[in-house]
Amino acid sequence: MPKDTLTIVDNRTGKQYEVPIELGTINAMDLRQIKTAADDFGLMTYDPAFTNTASCKSRITYIDGDQGVLRYRGYPIEELAEKSTYLETAYLIVKGELPNRAHMEMWTHNTKIHTMVHENIKKFIDGFRYDAHPMGMLVGTVGALSTFYPDAKNIFDLESRRVQTRRLIGKVPTIAAFAYRHSRGLPYVYPDNELSYTGNFLAMLFKMTELVYKPNPVLERALDVLFILHADHEQNCSTNAVRSVGSSQVDPYSAVAAASAALYGPLHGGANEAVIRMLLEIGSVANVPAAIQKFKAGEGRLMGFGHRVYKNYDPRAKIIKRIADEVFVVTGKNPLIDIAVELERIALQDDYFVKRKLYPNVDFYSGIIYQAMGFPMTMFPVLFAIPRTAGWIAQWAEMVRDPEQKIARPRQIYIGEGVRRWVPIEQRPEPSSREDAVTQQI
């Protein structure tokens, strides 16, 4: 009968070790027994960027990258996108089950009563430059929420975690909309709790002199589905940030601000903004073949393509591509979609991309829709952060409750200098190529 163990022979000593295999993994600490001498530290694993390392056990999101499968709490993303709403999906991600009617009414009420922000938040937003990137404003302001809610430090108190969850899901859209209005030089629009979660967000963004803003139902539903698609995605870069920062037992606002900062990066949530800039630079369908050659030569990346986990078509990208057609009926077609479709067509036939299993990811088409809906490019990562807040807070709370988790503190392989003695400055070598080498290090 095969055993769920790994037998390791250390050829340096001839010793043999047997380590248990659990859930497709071995525990890295089981390698520390493998030593060449009693005072040897023992073996570690080396895995920059955690390409093959499980950092936690989670019940929230399941991805099968080879099959292009994505499920929140077991529910396929395709079904949620077709039948659910973002607020219901946020409940599912946070609570673990779909709500019954009473729970949904309570959840809706409990998030809506937290859409208002402290009036001082307006002073924060006012303090940013006119051309401040909305994502920078979001990162700073979400972090500042921790100063308004000191009770959030009680992270082991269930009711405190629940209140902060409602506050974050309720307030992040308001802060995002305030950041947008500031960048446009427009007055802030307070929440309208008569509207849906996503309808209220649109109102806070686009309401002008009309007494009551009426969102276009097609655009409201399209954005709500986009929010569903972006709500969580297991241990991505920003979720790793919320867990790692949260593991120091800091409050959830500070942890979510750290996650927002990670999402800001062009390789992560900033990719949909980078896709539009790439498409604008390509300029026309005729220029696509030359652009593909550039990417293959390593001159820049085909932004919106590739994924650490998906080695097949990102299921979210398929749904987003369908949403584009519905949005364009209302907004008019965004001509950039023709360039994107041609890029996809050629890339999916080109060995460079096929060999590397590079497919469109969630960011490839989302920016084209956002642009058609009238959002400036700088708002695109913000439109990612809003729905992902539910995922971040759910992952953070799962980490807080996990008895196997403690402060995240990776090891390293030291490859620096051996011990050296300090010498007075007059005894140090004259500037040389060494000087250049040192000054280059930052």
Return residues touching ligand SDX (CB under 6 A): 233, 236-237, 267-268, 271, 295, 301-309, 356, 358, 361-363
Give yes or no for a contact between 205 and 383, defined as CB atoms under 8 angstroms apart. Answer: no
CB of 83 to ligand SDX, least distance (A): 21
Q: Reply yes or no on whether 40 is catalytic.
A: no
Distances (CA, A) of 293 to 289, 299, 311, 422: 6, 9, 22, 52
**List of residues 6+ apart from 413 with CB closer than 8 A:** 44, 46
**List of residues 6+ apart from 398 with CB closer than 8 A:** 56, 58, 59, 60
Q: Of residues 192, 224, 251, 363, which has the active-site annotation? A: 363
Residue 37 DSSP class:
S
Q: Which is nearer to ligand SDX, 125 or 135 (CB)?
A: 135
Q: Which is nearer to ligand SDX, 220 or 363 (CB)?
A: 363
Q: Of residues 268, 338, 350, 402, which has the active-site annotation? A: 268
CA distance 221 to 215: 10
Report the run of H or E that residue 316 belongs to, with start and end: helix 315-331
Q: 3-state SS of 68-126?
A: CEEEECCEEHHHHHHHCCHHHHHHHHHHCCCCCHHHHHHHHHHHHCCCCCCCHHHHHHH
CB of 103 to ligand SDX, least distance (A): 27
Q: Which is nearer to ligand SDX, 236 or 378 (CB)?
A: 236
CB of 380 to ligand SDX, least distance (A): 12
Q: Reply yes or no on whether 118 is catalytic.
A: no
CB of 385 to ligand SDX, least distance (A): 11
Q: Which is nearer to ligand SDX, 109 or 356 (CB)?
A: 356
Q: Which is nearer to ligand SDX, 71 or 268 (CB)?
A: 268
CB of 426 to ligand SDX, least distance (A): 47
Distances (CA, A) of 19 to 6, 12, 25, 32: 5, 18, 10, 11
Residue 192 DSSP class:
-
Q: Of residues 114, 251, 307, 314, which has the active-site annotation? A: 307
Q: Reply yes or no on whether 307 is catalytic.
A: yes
CB of 158 to ligand SDX, least distance (A): 27
Q: Which is nearer to ligand SDX, 13 or 293 (CB)?
A: 293
- Phi then psi for residue 312, to 5 deg, are -150, 180
Structure tokens at 30: 């089981």
Q: Which residue is nearest to ligand SDX (CB)?
A: 306
Residue 378 DSSP class:
G
Active site residues: 268, 307, 363
